[in-house]
Amino acid sequence: MKLIIGSRASRLAVIQSQLVMDAISGAHPDIEPELLTLKTTGDRILDRPLDKIGGKGLFVRELDAALREGRADLAVHSCKDLPADIPADLPLCAFTRREDPRDALVLPAGKDRLDGPIGCSSLRRRLQLEALFPGVPTIPVRGNVLTRLEELDNGEFGALVLAAAGLRRLGLEGRIHRYFTLQEMLPAAGQGILAVQCRRDMDTSFLDCVRDRDAELCARAERAFIRALDGGCSSPVAAHAVIEGESMKISGLFVDINNKISRGLLCGIPEQGESLGTLLAEKLKEEAA
C-alpha cells in the first residue's frame, strides 16, 4: 500500500519526514511511504516578518490543501511551527519522541566568542536574549536553517539562536557554541517534537510505531497554554512541559503589552495536561492584569 507523506521542501523538513517514513516502513513492510514536498507560502516570502503576512498558518496552508484534496495521506510538521488552532477535519494524530527541546547559540565558523548582533526569528527569543546579553542588539532573521547559517558565516550576524533539535537532526550539532538552559530561554511550545497530521476519517492505528505518549501529553499541554494566550507566530509566549513519574510540570512565559515578562509553573496529572496548560495561562494573565 502506498502512503503519501506531505512535507515542506527544506532539507530539515525532509529529514524529519524521513524519520517518520522509516519508522512506518520498518514496522509495516506492506506500507510504502512516498514523499511529497511542497514549498509553502511561509517558505517563499522571506522579506517580511511572519506576523505581518499571516503567521504560522503560512507554513501549513499548502499541506492542508494536499491532505484535503487527497494528494497526501499524512503531513509531518515541526510541532513548534504549527498554528495554535488546528482545523477539526485535519487533526494531529501522532507525536514523536521529543528531541532536545533547548535553544542554542551558534557562532560564525571559526569564531569562539560573540561579536555583533544576534539573529533570531521570534520575539520570544529576542526578549529573553535581552536579559542574557544586555546591550547586544538582535536582528530578525527568516529562511531555513541552512540559509541562516550561510548568512551567519558570511558576516551578517555575530551569532544565531536556533533550535538544538533541528541542528541535531541535520547533523550540525558541532556548530552549537552553547545550549541555553530551560531557565535561561524557555522554548517554543512543541519544540523538539514532530507532529503528524491526517484527515479526520483516517484509521491511524499504523502510526503506533511513531507515537510517544509523553511527547503527546506534553505537546498538547504546551499548545493549550499558547492557545489560551492567543499565541501566534510572533506572540511572545513560550511553554515547556515534562513528565516525571506520575506528575507533569509545565512552565510558561507570557509577555504583556508593556513587554513585562511573567513566568509561572504548575504541576498536575499528565492526562490533564491541556487543562493544566490553560490554567497556567489564565494564572499568568491575571498576574499581568
Q: Which residues contact 235 (CB under 8 A, 6 or more apart)?
A: 51, 123, 124, 226, 229
Cα–Cα distance, 25 to 68 (Å, whole number): 24
In the annotation, is 81 catalytic? yes
Of 33, 36, 89, 39, the residue nearest 60 (C-alpha) = 39
CA atoms within 13 A on the CB side of 235: 22
Of 279, 261, 257, 260, the residue nearest 269 (C-alpha) = 279
Q: What would the grid cell of residue 197 be?
A: 497530521
Q: What are phi and psi of 6, to 5 degrees?
A: -85, 140
- The full length of the chain comes to 289
Cβ(221)–Cβ(274) below 8 Å: yes
Q: What would the grid cell of residue 79 be?
A: 510541532
Angle made by CA atoms 9, 194, 27, in degrees to the nearest 5 = 95
What single-letter amino acid sits at 259? Answer: N
Stretch (H or E) spanning 123 = helix 123-132
What single-letter amino acid sits at 151? Answer: E
> Active site residue: 64, 73, 81, 100, which one?
81
Q: What would the grid cell of residue 190 be?
A: 512543541
Give all strands (DSSP E) within the chain, no chain letters.
2-8, 32-38, 74-78, 92-95, 103-106, 118-120, 138-140, 159-163, 176-179, 194-198, 237-244, 247-255, 261-268
Would you name the residues annotated as active-site residues? 81
